[in-house]
Structure 1
Amino acid sequence: MAVIELYPQEKKPHPFTSQTLSGWQWRQLDKGDDWTPCTHKKPTTEIYTDLLDAGRIPDPFLDENEKLVQWVGAAEWEYACTLTATAAEMAAVRQVLVFDGLDTFATVYLNDTAILESDNMFHIHRVDVVGRLREGDNTLRIVFKGALVAGQNMEKTLGKLTCFNGDSSRVYIRKAQYHYGWDWGPTFLTCGPYREIRLETYDVVAVWDVFTDAVVLEGLQQADLTVSFTVDASKDVVVQATITSPDGKAVQLSTKVKAGSTEASLSTKIDQPQLWYPLHHGPQVFYNVKVEVLSVDDTSVLQSTSTRVGMRRLRLVQEPLLDAPGTSFYFEVNNQAVYINGSNWIPRHSFLTALTEDDYRQSVDECVASHQNMLRVWGGGLYEHDSFYQACDDKGVLVWQDFMFACGVYPCHPAFVKSVTREACDQVRRLRRFCSVVLWAGNNEDYQVAENLKLDWDPADDSGDWTKTNFPARTLYERHLPAVIQDLCPQVPYHPGSPWGGVNTEDPTMGDIHQWSVWHGTLEPYQRWPELTGRFVSEFGMMSLPPRRSVDKYVTDPAQRYPQSAVMDLHNKAEGGERRLTSYIVENVRLRSLDLNDWIYASQLMQAECLGAAIRACRRQWKGRRREYCGGQLVWQINDCWPVASWALIDFYGERKLAYYAVKRQSAPLIVDIGRTYTAVESNTLEALKEKRAHVDVWAANSGLSQDVVDLTVTLFDIQTGGVVRTESLTRTTVGANKTTELLHGLAVDDKTAVQAIMRDSSTGELLSRASDWPQPLKHIAMASPEDSGVQVTVHDGRVDITSKLPIKGLEVSTSNESVIWSDNGVDIFPSDVYSIDATGLSKTDTVDVRYYG
């Protein structure tokens, strides 16, 4: 019987294969040292973690060790690994090394032949190594030069530019800017192969950068779907895409791709598309997209890859408002206006390769658990790992993505523009497949820096070329970067910077603002937050210390565990941070002592009160259609990159601060809230001595899409006796959908009175929300003695119940059982009300400790 060859006179095509490199070893360059193998087998690594694993340096995060390891960033290092090429891989027509990211000045050698030089941490490289690869073992070696020296040399040649935070040379270097130090982070100029390196081999074809672009039409009844991809084809092939809906219905498309093609696409229409929604607005569903490359000769599969797409219609709405100047700034997904309760995200670790996929997922879960629906990837870090965006897609957390420029005057000479444009193309191509990414912003605070330095910035000048001015990077932000978005990802809006909009960056009537009059600037009292909102507040915050359990981990010498110690100062990077922190604590909170526990509690209570006041003020301004006076707020910041006193809600070790719980309560989809206003009584008395009267307003904030019918009880309590001063009730009151509804106005109170509001479902009596209000500042309140408070905590498996005889402010529960996760904390307790807190991992035999204000 004759054998018929499908490929006469030639071998059967080698299909696409991919091998990820690992097994790294390292050494300091030109020191003659032996190679040190990495103790892990991960495909990514960097020098600080490797030195630490090898016992060559002390833990940089402990005590004052940051000072002892600065030499690492000034040195030069090399990495090597063995790449074993099989006979089949060697026989392939194409042999390509793919580098997803090298940090930062890297020269790559394959068998001692230089194959790549890179000077941008955010570039992705594909290098043809045919003729340089040999069968069996090959050596891939990477030399990393110091970023600081390189930047300072550029500065000498090109001129010194200005930046806030870190060495001024950083603006020339395309490296994560926070590595140079920030007002919450250390200086660790690390280096290494921080993203994966792969060997890809194939004969006929390779497909990558598969992108499924779904354009959902306005009526939401149809979507135009395009599957595009980059291709390297040496022969004609057939590309087949199978699109499977969330309910299992499949559509198959195919196209013939000609030899020599570099890009191709397939298109179809999807009727009645199943849509992806953000958190609390609907389900997170995905269409699976499988792309197969088939031989035209025998239909054998040469390559197969899968991705997914969440379909959504997205708009950034900036339109005139009723009864207010300027324009709105809010996000609309699937024709639904979405109020944003969110946070800013900095890199979760100073050493990126120390993170796992679970770390990213846990962080996004923490965001969801606190009812936050957006994370802003801040421009001084990096374009995050795929795992981060994958988790945001899965959980419905929207992503505001900055390009990586922060707090500086950046250059715009031709070589820099070329590098940045390639960076933008590489990263936008990578991230555009994630439906959670809903905004690209050009930079963080660079326009604000230009204003501060009085640089040449005329908003009326729309020439598009400002390279000859002393604010040259404006050309990047308003010309080059938006062109990349328009070309590669036109469905996602672009915003030139953050903050940006209006007559200047502080204009509260247009665009977004960073509201740092509280903490920075004039150190405004946080009680003034109702006067400080804007159309969208994308940064605001208040510092606090991490919990005591964390302090004890990074301050190893008990003698250094006091607020003013050298170690504690080193782990507070904010310029003037101790002074500002002290000002806010002393102005607001009564202190018993400077004992570390008291200082930690005071700072955390103050942070919780401040952030609660800010979110309360912003959310109240979401008043319905054409009255979106504030479209959302983003807390600075949700996380830390090392152990530090900072603005974070969750510290480096994963401990939740009291502010985390305050943000959680204020961000719930349906809440009742209270605001206290002081007005001076007209008299001839000097202004500073005038008597002030107070009243409270009560409202409900609903970010849900349906109205609710509720019962409301507002009780005024005497703080010292716990007696009821007055009660107001509303029954079967309608709370409007997706807006704030005012409920009570002008309820007179005095500085001896605390107020509690409880909102229940009218039909079922279910508790929907509590709110409380206290005289300000808290330090003036005459609290009763702890002996009279009558606080009782009943411990159950997985729950505590708390009651009291008197109004109690900021009650914190804790336990030595580190596995316990509290659902709430730092709560206000009132007489005749049982406050239950769920506690995962808590046993009724555990001892629960309590502290509260006063």
Structure 2
Amino acid sequence: MIKAITVKNWKYRQAGSEKWKQGRKDAAKSEIQAELIANNEIPSPFIDCHARDIQWVGEKDWEYQSEFQVPKEDQKKRVQILEFNGLDTFCTVNLNGEEILKTDNMFIKYSVDVTKKLKYDEPNKLHLYFKSALVEARRLEKIHGKGHSFNGEVSRTQVRKAQYGWGWDWGDAVMTCGPWQPVRLLSYDAHLRDVYVKVVDPNAQESKIDVQAEIDAPKSADILLDVKVWGPNGNEIEIEPKKQLVSGAKLSVKFPIKEPELWFPRGKGKQPLYTFETTLYSSDGTILDKTTKKVGIRNVELVQEPLEDAEGTSFYFKVNGVPVYCNGSNWIPGHSIPCLFTDDDYKKWIQLAVDGNQNMIRVWGGGYYEDELFYSECDRLGIMVWQDFMFACAAYPAYPEFIASVQNEVETQLKRLRNHCCLSIFAGNNEDYQVAESCNLDWDKDDHSGDYTKTSFPARTIYEKTLPDLCAGLQPDVPYHPGSPWGGKDTSDKTVGDIHQWNVWHGSQEQYQNWYKLGGRFVSEFGMEALPSIKTYEDCITDPTELYAQSESVDFHNKADGFARRLALYVIENLKLQGDDFESMIYTTQLMQAECLSYAYKCWRRRWYGDGKRYSGGAIVWQLNDCCPIASWAIVDFYGRPKLSFYAVKRESTDVGVGMYRNEDSNHDNDSESGIGKPHNYEIHSYNVDIWGVNASLKNIPAKLLVDVYEVESGKLINSLTPADVVLKANQTTEFVKALHLPKGKKVVVYSRVEVDGKILATAADWPQPLKYLKFPDRHVGYEISDGSITLTANKPVKGVQVTVKNRDVFLQDNGFDIFPGDKVVVKGDIKKTDNIGIRYYNM
């Protein structure tokens, strides 16, 4: 059987120093900052303003050293391979004083045959010398020329390393180096280098499976390969042929699975996973190597087809022939020091996406290809993954050595990840075509030659030739998209492909009530910034006198360009400030972010009308998470504390929901795509409201629609519509009410519900805009606490109720909601009767 020794207990030193220092005990993964912090040599970059004090670390070279011992008996093994699963980034590797490897790409797995270089029953010394990636990038830039970038120092484009390490508008520069993935010694006679369970023809009647194995074995040996399959319920599936004689380096075992259980994203079905066990045997029955893959059988398509009554084409996904509207979020690296992000962290964060009713996560191109566990959890929980290749916000070089490194990188990652059914699309880059537009680089859309290396946009060769060819050869069942955004006449074309819609916050800084006219066929980025929890600031700022909204420390924990002006613009434009204390400001920015994102999700999801009319295929908010404690566009902060926007997105992403939008009577525009009127202005006009239902399930749902109209200031119920029988059509939006007229000159809130057999399935409230003009006198919110929940009521309509457990961190299933008279809102969570509960609501 194959034997593996993982190298641990790394020692480190600054290059040229005499003294080695012991790193974290038993750590298999390391980045130099993690070791320096653990030994109190530098402060955490997350605390106070220390990130600026530790920049020197990234400018130095660093050395690592460890020893491992190989038993004498392992000398009998045919091959000894040192496997470097990730070295960050420019590394010279020595084994027992002999150089065995030089690396320059963080994303490549390097394997070195050290069979004749090992010592047995005595220590083997492994030495790693890491050059500063920052210094190397600047050196390479002088050779290959300066490029362009939107974030971070432009020299970063020369290096195949996680780009966010140069600093981004949501994170400090933390220039890491080290063995960021495990180093292992593999000893074997025969080895399964790679096993790909290729689903050739996924369908519900019979799916054809091709288990492709890449094998390292002696040519003369009699070695058998055996494949076993177990169904999702653990029942073994008989297949033929089972065992085959190994001849050569590659072997394919083909067989059908009849009536397979198909994998669906959450909300569309179950997530059954088949277990494929591939084993190498010697002629005497000895197991030489074994690998197990859990694989979902599914077919994923990117549908770009003509639309009825609209220009351009659709952009949405089908899984097993079922159209899927994508409610999701963008994912950035979970930590500025990757080796400190744990398995438990991955599980917690993917579960947060599930708790937020999301069905897609986009792995953004400025970080790194995520850990295996990330994709396994997405497989298990039914989260589709949009996977960018690691290029972001820049014009990259494309000289031969660079392309060769990218090819090696992509082959490494596709082979590692291609058994994961969650993978739904590969995108060549993040916003690099936008950089090309912004910087007037060569981009002839009629040139399809595939070789653009002599132009000022040479990386187009990578995105339109290198990457699609590799994907077609290694994982042809996943659609490829040249970039994000990409499609149409330019990257902002709302009728073809996907867009990043940043004209709220960035760009023209539109009012967020106008999201409906800013949407596209698929919006893969949009967002609004908000401050994180007061607890998060208390965790990362040690000076209590700095805990106010405009302090130097608070400003330092915000990297967004022009954040003070832009955040103030959206707050002042929309919400009444309720005190100048820090917690009030935090609440106000979070409510504003929640309102902003709620408008986007409901406006765009409305446009999912069914066959030929899927004018919008999804909304992927920027962003789910943070890599450090900071104010950003994240809907959950670094410490896992959801902002109010997390819950707003969750409510707008329910399988069954109701939506509303307010229009001006005098300017009502029956847009053929949206059915939504002109944007609001702040004069008194006569308004009407559209009401619709959304249903992600695959069955029609007969229901009753209930609609009440309240005067905001008095809280009086002034109108109730007669309950109407409606049907929420399967897997689409259904219009219920067109232009419900509202009383002129009155500020009224419309409260809608859909009910089945007396049970409320979904609610929505449409409030007059802007909220800052509204007054809420004589409001009272009552609540009762029990173990596991808190129940809230209100005497009049109340906006943006926030429940806070002050004495500890508790994840609540709902927050930031509205309450109407007669409702009992039950918030579940790990609440105790003894908890210190805080209640806040808008204009309290």
Tell me which interval the TM-score lies in, with the shorter structure as reference length. over 0.9
Q: Does 1:53 align with 2:46?
A: no
Assess if the C-alpha contact under 8 Å between 2:204 and 2:261 holds in 1: no
Instruction: Give, in angstroms, the shift of residue 258 of structure 1.
Output: 4.8
Within 2, Cα distance between the matches of 1:61 and 1:85?
Answer: 40
1:282 and 2:266 are equivalent in the alignment: no
Cα distance, 1:530–1:681 mapped onto 2, change above 3 Å:
closer
Q: CA deviation at 1:801?
A: 1.5
Displacement of 1:679 in angstroms is: 4.7
Calculate the aligned-residue CA RMSD, in Å: 1.5
Q: Cα gap change, 1:208/1:320 in structure 2, threshold over 3 Å: closer, same or farther? A: same
Q: Map 1:261-280; keep pairs closer than 5 Å.
A: 261-280=248-267
The answer to whether the Cα contact below 8 Å between 1:680 and 1:690 also exists between their aligned partners in 2 is no
Match of 2:99 in 1: 114
5 Å-filtered alignment, 1:32-431, equals: 32=18, 34-135=19-120, 136-203=122-189, 205-217=190-202, 220-234=204-218, 235-247=221-233, 248-252=235-239, 253-254=241-242, 256-258=244-246, 261-296=248-283, 298-431=284-417
Provide the rounded CA distance (Å) in 2 between the counterparts of 1:463 and 1:231: 36
- Give the conservation status (yes or no) of the 8 Å contact 2:523–2:619: yes
2:16 — aligned with what? 30
- In the alignment, which residue of structure 2 is the partner of 1:475? 461
Report the CA distance between 1:88 and its aligned residue: 1.7
Residue matched to 2:752: 757
Structure 2 distance, partners of 1:650, 1:191, is: 28
Residues 225 and 246 of structure 2 are in contact (CA less than 8 Å); yes or no, is this contact kept in structure 1? no
User: Post-superposition shift, 1:215?
Assistant: 2.5
Q: 1:775 to 1:688 in 2, by over 3 A?
A: closer
The 5 A counterparts of 1:479-628 are 479-628=465-614
Verify: 1:715 aligned to 2:708, yes or no: yes
Distance 2:14 2:71 in 1: 31
Q: 1:681 touches 1:693 (CA, 8 Å); kept in 2?
A: no
Q: Please tell me the residue identity of whatever aligns with 1:736.
A: K
Query: 1:817, CA displacement in angstroms?
Result: 3.4
C-alpha distance in 1 between matches for 2:25 and 2:576: 50
Give the structure 1 partner of residue 821 of structure 2.
831
Sort the Cα spacing of 1:233 and 1:689 in 2 relative to 1 into closer, same or farther, 3 A: closer
Secondary structure in 1 matching 2:391: coil
Q: Is the 8 A contact 2:327 2:359 kept in 1?
A: yes
Q: Summarize deviations over 1:774-812 as a string: whole Å, max 9, x none.
A: 11111111x133xx1022112222111211122111111
Q: What are the superposed Cα offsets for residues 197-234 of structure 1, whole Å, 9 maximum, x if unpaired?
A: 1111123x1112211011234x5311110111211111
Q: Which amino acid aligns with 2:754?
A: M
Once the two structures are superposed, the pairs formed by residues 671-710 of structure 1 within 5 Å of their partners are 671-680=657-666, 692-710=685-703
Q: Secondary structure of the residue that 2:722 maps to in structure 1?
A: strand
Contact 2:682 2:770 in 1 (8 A): no
Aligned counterparts of 1:233 and 1:832: Cα–Cα separation in 2: 73
Match of 2:660, as an amino acid?
A: I
Query: Which of 818, 828, 850 is the aligned partner of 2:839?
Result: 850
> Which residue identity does 2:30 align to in structure 1?
T
How far did residue 728 of structure 1 move? 1.2
Say whether residues 1:784 and 2:779 are aligned partners. no
Where does the alignment leave 5 or more consecutive residues of structure 2 unmatched?
669-679
Cα distance in 2 for partners of 1:327, 1:689 equals 35
Distance change >3 Å, CA 138–CA 176, structure 1 → 2: same
CA offsets 1:13-64 (integer angstroms, 9 cap, x no match): xx322222212111111022x2111233121111111100001011210111
Pair 1:459-2:459 in alignment: no
- Assess if the C-alpha contact under 8 Å between 2:45 and 2:51 holds in 1: yes
Q: Does the CA contact (< 8 Å) of 2:330 and 2:364 recur in 1?
A: yes
Q: Which amino acid aligns with 1:846?
A: D
3-state SS of the aligned residue for 1:468?
A: coil
Task: Give the corresponding residue for 1:10.
Answer: none
Q: Secondary structure at the match of 2:288?
A: strand
Q: Is the 8 A contact 2:812 2:830 kept in 1?
A: no
Secondary structure in 1 matching 2:94: strand
The percentage of aligned residue pairs carrying the same residue is: 43
* Equivalent residue letter for 2:793: T
Name the CA distance, whole Å, in 2 between partners of 1:466 and 1:820. 53
Kindly tell me: are residues 553 and 637 of structure 1, through their superposed partners in 2, closer, same or farther at Cα, counting changes over 3 Å? same
Hey, what's the Cα distance between the residues in 2 that align with 1:221 and 1:485? 27
Q: 738, 752, 757: which one pairs with 1:745?
A: 738
Q: Return the offset for 1:662.
A: 0.3
CA distance in 2, matches of 1:197, 1:729: 69
Distance between the aligned counterparts of 2:781 and 2:566, measured in 1? 33
Matched, 1:772 2:765: yes
Which stretches in structure 1 are left out of the alignment for 5+ residues?
A: 1-14
Quote the offset at 1:549 in angstroms. 1.0
Letter in 2 for 1:270: I
Please, what TM-score do these two structures have when normalized by structure 1? 0.95
- The structure-2 alpha-carbon separation of the partners of 1:140 and 1:408, relative to structure 1 and needing over 3 Å to count, comes to same
Q: How far apart are the structure 2 equivalents of 1:739 and 1:305?
A: 42
- Which AA in structure 1 matches 2:768? P
Name the count of aligned residue pairs.
825
Structure 2 contact 753–762 (Cα < 8 Å) conserved:
yes
The one-letter code matched in structure 2 to 1:853 is Y
Give the counterpart letter for 2:281 in structure 1. Answer: L
Q: Who is 2:673 aligned against? A: none
- The answer to whether the 8 Å contact 1:681/1:691 transfers is no
Q: Deviations over 1:336-357 (max 9, x none)?
A: 1111000000001111111111
What secondary structure does 1:699 align onto?
strand
- CA–CA separation in structure 2 for the residues paired with 1:312 and 1:129: 41
CA shift for structure 1 position 691: 5.1
Say whether the 8 Å CA contact 1:824–1:837 is kept in structure 2.
yes
| Rounded Cα–Cα distance in structure 2 between residues aligned with 1:99 and 1:845 | 51
The range that moved more, 811-820 or 701-710, is 811-820
Once residues 847 and 58 of structure 1 are traced to their aligned partners in structure 2, the CA distance between those partners, rounded to angstroms, is 33
Deviation at 1:114, TM superposition (A): 0.7
